[in-house]
Structure 1
């Protein structure tokens, strides 16, 4: 049955892809975003079918107005990107925590009982079990490390959503995305960053192996999920997720960071010479989701990294030399 949804952060990378899918599925969609990192152009050919409200998730009046009259709220507004975690942790926390409180208060005041929250695998940081189920402890290892501003904000948001959601809501569901990648996600993520650096290194090394410096020794692993698969997973949570249910959205296929770098350079037609560098403070050695809980609802990722990565690398490579001029538009 078609519904009327508010998507906060709906001009961001994941938010816009979700909005496009919801419209294509026949739903009515309102977007709340201040476009500080998003852009309405991401909505593509559905932009005229969407009610776009420009506003800051930290402004309770704006959030309350945007929530009014909808059937459900899909809360994705956040400041993502590892670079931002280190450089502006106060803003990351302000948007994450104040935004969550505003959404909860607005839902209560406007009688909206269906809320789906985007959390993150960063909420548990270094998992004790890999592949990782949803019921492991959420952890902030070091409050002095600004990296944990994002994971901490998601941890707090989950606590708020679950405990506000115990009363006054028909359903509160949470999904934790794991390393979503795709075209037009902004530059402050590992795949776009690797493409940018690979193009620059290839320009400096016209022949032979291409020197490619990475953080750490490259044995660290991540499990990347293509944006199309991620949206399938999120829609599964929206349609079938249980009250107070928490679901990993991802693809458990692991890749070592050194191998990811080799694949990126190989897609660009060259061979990488991996050079180890100092590890990032607070980095995690291994991360991969256990998706059994979401799979039980009918979700199956369809795009392995080898099939999804080439198109994304090509998209960023075509734009990397003009990064300074397009970065603000891509964020």
Structure 2
């Protein structure tokens, strides 16, 4: 990409999109196309195509999506599958119709089967049943991957896919109803600290394993792949390191400075028992994550303190 290339970052105010914008600006890219969802509803086919026709972006980072944790995914599956299918389909098809040079589609490692062999390789896709609590979201993201591959095959496009593992960082969602586990725990521990609560309740048994990667690392990987990767297969983006939810809670407890006790509520769902991504493919391309979890947690807690209002 030239520094003056016209680059559309779809979802630029979200967790991943905002990190990609920061990374592009750090690298000196000056011609960024940015639209809020109020300015451009990517679920609307006509408006999306009109935008692409008028602006003619050279490159597209497709980070726009409806996202959420177990509660949101489990209670609003229709919203998750409809919104994500429409956003993806309209953006990918409009990119094709207007001659976009290259597109990066961002998905999630939740696309893989619930009981996939660990660590999860990219070729585990479609080899088994999905995790029921986020099946609608996962199916939409799988459709996005397959759509990119289909356009590459039929039309000779250059559409690639990256599958980040569990993300965290600045601009995360800290709403306890719709957020993922890490930001939810940061908020819970902070509010318990402020109110001098003796305990913090943790959803589930605390035994599932999870892998986390800082969103700034994902943004770095996104630029790296956009400029160096031409394969059709998805690429996992992660740290390749895991810990239990219980250990994550204890690490966040220490980061926040909460002195009380943890209470694990086993009546709540655990989700997938283990979800570690195999990152050998992206390591083979020359990229590795740089931000360790303990450092990243301190960073995002400071961001939360400054922006929680």
Give the TM-score of the pair, scaled to structure 1.
Answer: 0.83
Sort the Cα spacing of 1:201 and 1:184 in 2 relative to 1 into closer, same or farther, 3 A: same
Provide the residue aligned with 1:250 in structure 2: 238
Is this contact kept in 2: 1:132–1:287, CA < 8 A? yes
* C-alpha deviation, 1:319, in angstroms: 5.3
**For residue 267 of structure 1, what is the aligned residue in structure 2?**
255
Matches within 5 A, 1:81-230: 81-82=68-69, 83-138=71-126, 141=129, 145=132, 147-187=134-174, 188-205=179-196, 210-230=198-218
**Structure 2: where are the runs of 5+ without partners?**
none
Aligned: 1:74 with 2:61: yes
- 1:5 paired with 2:11, answer no
Distance between the aligned counterparts of 1:271 and 1:263, measured in 2? 12
Q: For residue 65 of structure 1, report the CA deviation from its aligned partner.
A: 2.7
Q: Give, in whole Å, the separation in 1 of the partners of 2:303 and 2:92.
A: 37
Out of 21, 24, 30, which is 2:23 matched to? 21
Could you tell me how far apart the structure 2 residues matched to 1:87 and 1:273 are?
A: 29
Contact 2:119-2:275 within 8 A present in 1 as well: yes
Tell me how far 1:9 sits from its aligned partner.
1.1
Q: Give the whole-Å Cα distance in 2 for the aligned partners of 1:142 and 1:249.
A: 19
Moved over 6 A (4+): none
Q: Which residue of 2 aligns with 1:293?
A: 281
TM-score normalised by the chain length of structure 2: 0.88
CA distance in 1, matches of 2:32, 2:191: 40
Residue 142 to residue 191, structure 1, CA distance change in 2 (3 Å): closer
Alignment-derived partner of residue 294 in structure 2: 306
Q: Which runs of 5+ in 1 are unaligned?
A: 36-53, 321-325, 327-331
CA distance in 2 between partners of 1:317 and 1:257 (Å): 23
Per the alignment, do residues 311 and 115 of structure 1 end up closer, same or farther by CA in structure 2, a change over 3 Å counting?
closer
Deviation at 1:180, TM superposition (A): 1.2
The Cα offsets for residues 234-293 of structure 1, whole Å up to 9 and x where unpaired, read as 111111111313111111121111111111111222345332212644711111211111
Q: 2-side partners of 1:282 and 1:194: how far apart? A: 15
**Number of aligned residue pairs:** 299
Range 228-237 or range 18-27, more displaced: 18-27
29, 38, 45: which one aligns with 1:60: 45
CA RMSD of aligned residues (A): 2.3
Structure 1 counterpart SS, 2:261: strand
> 2: CA distance between counterparts of 1:163 and 1:141?
23
SS of equivalent to 2:13: coil
Cα–Cα, structure 1 residues 165 and 281, in superposed 2: closer, same or farther, change >3 Å? farther
Aligned-partner SS, 1:33 = coil
